[in-house]
Amino acid sequence: MALAQRSRNASLLAGGTLVGLVVLAALVSFGWTPHDPLRVEATDRLLGPTGRYVFGTDRFGRDVASQLLVGARSTLYVGVVAVGLAALVGTPLGILAGMSRRWLGEFVMRANDLVLAFPALLLAIMFGAVFGAGTLTAMIAIGIATVPSFARIARSGTLQVMSTEYVLAARAAGRSPAFIARRHVLPNIAGLVIVQCSVSFAIAVLAEAALSFLGFGTRPPTPSWGRMLQESQELLAVEPRLALIPGIAIALAVLGFNLLGDGLRDRFDPRLEAYR
């Protein structure tokens, strides 16, 4: 028990720390960066880590550390917009599909399948072509493409909750479907949704990287970890550092959100209180 408790606290702590670092980096970047992340310094190209440049410079002589700090903003922006949109639309849709009469639920889920069948990146590229390329457009597209995974998980959770005797008791007491959705379904599927958030956050961060490479994501010169990674590609053999630094940042952020999701799920579950 003590071990389970410790590992649970550990994932919450580690996840919280990693995510906290990303948030901190983004916040700090608004007030201070070691150098101007956008300033091109022709004489300082491709410098290794030194006292002046902690993580060195890229091929345009821009400070990697400063780009990393400012890039954290894009990462959070991407995650919050895409995941927020997907969760806020997908979860209620899933609850609706799980609670409503057969045909309506079927209709919602088939519409869901339709969106799911559509490649997320293709949707993002189409959105970019129609509404203009940019981080926000790309993330709304990624968000829409992520709606089905939330709807699906919310629906399966809802179906499970709706089959319980406590919902039957609520119905026998004359409580409305809206009350049941709010007081019984939502709190009981919150854990599932939170875990889905962390997974989707990770996917959104990676999708942003891919879109940036294709020219449909964060537009230059705005720094983003995805773009830093893509820009480093040509120099991979010469300067692996330029790929490793943003790569590690992305990996740690993704790991952090996953650990945080796990930790939060356990924290929100009063049934596990006995182990705490």
Instruction: Give residues in contact with other proteins (CB under 8 A).
Output: 164-166, 168-176, 183-184, 187-188, 270-271, 273-274
Structure tokens given for 175: 């409580």
Give the CA angle between residues 201, 203, 207 to the nearest 5°.
Answer: 115
Cβ-based nearer residue to other proteins, 51 or 270 = 270
Residues 199 and 265 sit within 8 Å (Cβ to Cβ):
no
CB of 265 to other proteins, least distance (A): 13
| 199 closest CA partner among 263, 259, 125 | 259
The tokens of 42 are what?
Answer: 């022709």
**Alpha-carbon distance 146 to 153, whole Å?**
11
The residues, ordered by sequence, that sit 6+ positions from 97 with a Cβ below 8 Å of its Cβ are: 104, 105, 108, 109, 112, 151, 155, 158
**In terms of CB distance, is 122 or 169 closer to other proteins?**
169
Residue 4 vs 27, nearer CB to other proteins:
4
What is the closest distance, in whole angstroms, from the C-beta atom of residue 157 to other proteins in the complex? 13
**Shortest distance, position 187 Cβ to other proteins, whole Å:** 4
Residues in contact with 169: Cβ distance below 8 Å, sequence separation at least 6, in sequence order:
none
CA distance 20 to 216: 28
Min dist. Cβ of residue 183 to other proteins (A): 7
Query: Which one, 132 or 187, has the nearer CB to other proteins?
Result: 187
Nearer residue to other proteins within complex by CB, 95 or 210: 95
The tokens describing 207, both together, are 């999708």
Q: In terms of CB distance, is 51 or 273 closer to other proteins?
A: 273
Q: CB under 8 Å to 13, separation ≥6 — which residues? A: 263
Look up residue 268 and give its two tokens. 């929100």
- Cα–Cα distance for residue pair 170/93, rounded to 1 Å: 22
Q: Which is nearer to other proteins, 187 or 220 (CB)?
A: 187
Min CB(178)–other proteins separation in Å:
12
**Could you tell me the smallest distance in angstroms from the CB atom of residue 274 to other proteins?**
7
CA distance 137 to 216: 9
Q: Which lies closer to other proteins via its Cβ, residue 43 or residue 102? A: 102
We find the least distance from the C-beta atom of residue 243 to other proteins, in angstroms, to be: 45
Q: How far is the CB of 109 from other proteins (least distance, A)?
A: 19
- Cα distance between residue 186 and residue 92, in whole Å: 9
